[in-house]
Structure 1
Amino acid sequence: MRIRMLNSKYEIETLKEDEEVVHLSFRPSNTDIMQIITRCKGLKALQLPSSYRKTLSDVAIKFLEMEDVELLEGDMKSTGISMYKEIDSEE
């Protein structure tokens, strides 16, 4: 599985329409999440570190549910500055 890595909200505009899984290394606002979902028509999952997940608003969580986007918790350590990370789908 290929995960698109975003290190700041300024990278949202670089997302491609066919991105399916996006990892955020920053604390997103409701607007950031809405922009990501609007840009990525086939988005299946959004991954956040657990510390950021805890601060996500109920509105953002509900919006993700309504759009059938799964919210995942996880860190992408040791990824350097790569734009994508390939992981084994069994992880």
Structure 2
Amino acid sequence: MPRNPEHRTRPRREVAYRVTIEGESAASISCRLIDISETGVRIEVNEGVAVSQRFVLRLSSMANHGRYCETVWRTKEELGARFLETTSETGRTP
């Protein structure tokens, strides 16, 4: 059986959505969602923009609800994050 070179457990779906992420400082950062799966996302961010290790992903800056995420990897212009499923992982509710 061929191995998955990216170590993914779930297939990702390519998208091109403008999204907002809110870090621990509560500052909103506009970025682009590149792909999404059941377990996480890949996001394009501007080079040099600081993103908290944990953040809330919102599909709109007007959205009342979001998904809590944790950064798994980061390059200059992209980051990969996993969804945090329980409030025990985040300590709060989205």
TM-score, normalised to structure 1's length?
A: 0.26
Q: Relative contact order: is structure 1 or structure 2 higher (C-alpha 8 Å, sep ≥ 6)?
A: 1
| Higher gyration radius (CA) | 2
